Amino acid sequence: MARNTQFTALEALRGRSILRVADLNKDEIRALLALACTLKADYAAFRDTLAQRALVMLFEKPSLRTRVSFEIGFQKLGGCVTFLDHRNEPIGAREPVADYGRNLERWCDVIVARVFKHETLVALRENCSIPIINALSDFAHPCQALADGQALVEHGIALETCHLAWLGDGNNVCLSLMELVAIMGGRMTVVTPPTHAPCAKLTAEIRALAAQSGASITLTNDPSAIAGADAVYTDAWISMGQKDCAEKIASLRKLTVTPEIMHIAGPNAKFMHCLPAHRGEEVVDAVIDGPQSIVYDQAENRMHAQNALMLALLHAVPTARFAPNAAVEILANTR
């Protein structure tokens, strides 16, 4: 992907809101990952690119990686950050979401929201003139998927040809990864119990994207289907706020990622997890702490991928500083 094409793709993101990976096209994803790699290689070159810009963070759920990576990341680029804790007062409880958003847009340049209901993000987007970024909802976790895409290409796995395997609950992270693979043209095998498959409506939408790109999305209950996968991904079985989950945990037990499961994928398969991990449930220590694990690369990349996204949405990518480097060449060589 030529440098001029990357700039064109990034400029097309100006002022947009990103609530799902499906809000992006293939060229935009590749350009964002190239920019993320550039940032990771040298933040000094991007110092003060977001000076005088303000980020407001609205969080209904607790967080480690998401909060710290957005706060420190935006500050590294010279911007200021305000965090509003909504764990005890859902957005829209004190005043309508529309009024809330119309106030915030007068003071800040971008809103990052971590919410229980995706509809809250949609309401913010429909009532704000500034970009809204989904930092996690019940339907999607696009920033995590972008960071994961960066981790894969850094490890020499091309998104256009990768085979990504998912084991566990067909949750929001799973759906966002399905969107990423469907757009980029790769292959994804999703292994879940019959009762915990990904949302049927969203799966149908994702398969329509896959039909356009030539991607393959397979849903199955058979762990042997992950044979030959480039990466094996799992997540916590119980999402924040879920209760009475004994049946769910029991149904997922056979999908715990163990050395035996990784053996099915093969010796070169990477292990991935968005964290936090419930060790002994969805994954055992021997895997998450083992040589195939790239979970902390994923975690680190949250900051870089998110910063790339915010720079693009705020039209703040400095032309002179976004130059080819070794990290971008890694991305280019995985086509």
- Exactly one of 109, 148, 169, 235 is catalytic; name it: 235
What's the Cα-to-Cα distance from 273 to each of 48, 185, 276, 299, rounded to whole Å?
32, 22, 8, 9
333 is a domain residue: no
23 annotated active-site: no
160 plus 234 within the same structural domain: yes
- Exactly one of 65, 114, 163, 273 is catalytic; name it: 114
Domain count, the chain: 2
269 plus 307 within the same structural domain: no
111 plus 210 within the same structural domain: no
pLDDT of residue 283: 98
263 is a domain residue: yes
332 is a domain residue: no
168 plus 262 within the same structural domain: yes
72 plus 37 within the same structural domain: yes
47 plus 172 within the same structural domain: no
- CA distance linking residue 256 with residue 192, whole number of Å: 11
Query: Cβ(218)–Cβ(174) under 8 Å?
Result: no
- Exactly one of 6, 144, 292, 298 is catalytic; name it: 144
The end-to-end CA distance of the chain, in Å, is 9
141 annotated active-site: yes
Read off the pLDDT of each residue in 209-220 and give the average, rounded to a whole number: 98
DSSP string for residues in 160-229: TT-EEEEES---HHHHHHHHHHHHHT-EEEEE--GGGPPPHHHHHHHHHHHHHHT-EEEEES-GGGGTT-
204 plus 275 within the same structural domain: yes
- Per-residue pLDDT at 145 exceeds 70: yes
If residue 114 lies in a helix (H) or strand (E), which one and from where to where? strand 110-114
145 is a domain residue: no
Residue 191 sits at φ, ψ, to 5 deg, of -110, 115
DSSP state of 23: G
- Per-residue pLDDT at 214 exceeds 80: yes
329 is a domain residue: no
- Exactly one of 20, 30, 65, 302 is catalytic; name it: 302
- CA distance linking residue 49 with residue 173, whole number of Å: 30
327 is a domain residue: no
- Exactly one of 108, 128, 143, 274 is catalytic; name it: 274
DSSP state of 147: H
47 annotated active-site: no
pLDDT of residue 57: 98
Tell me the pLDDT tens digit for each residue of 18-71.
Answer: 999 999 999 999 999 999 999 999 999 899 999 999 999 999 999 999 999 999
The answer to whether the pTM exceeds 0.85 is yes
- Exactly one of 20, 125, 141, 163 is catalytic; name it: 141
264 is a domain residue: yes
Provide the residue range defining the domain that includes 194. 156-293
How wide is the angle at C-alpha 63 spanned by C-alphas 89 and 151, nearest 5°? 145
52 annotated active-site: no
114 annotated active-site: yes
99 annotated active-site: no
Phi-psi region of 78 (alpha: psi -120 to 50; beta: other; left: phi over 0): left
The enclosing domain of 244 has a CATH number of 3.40.50.1370
Residue 51 sits at φ, ψ, to 5 deg, of -60, 140
146 is a domain residue: no
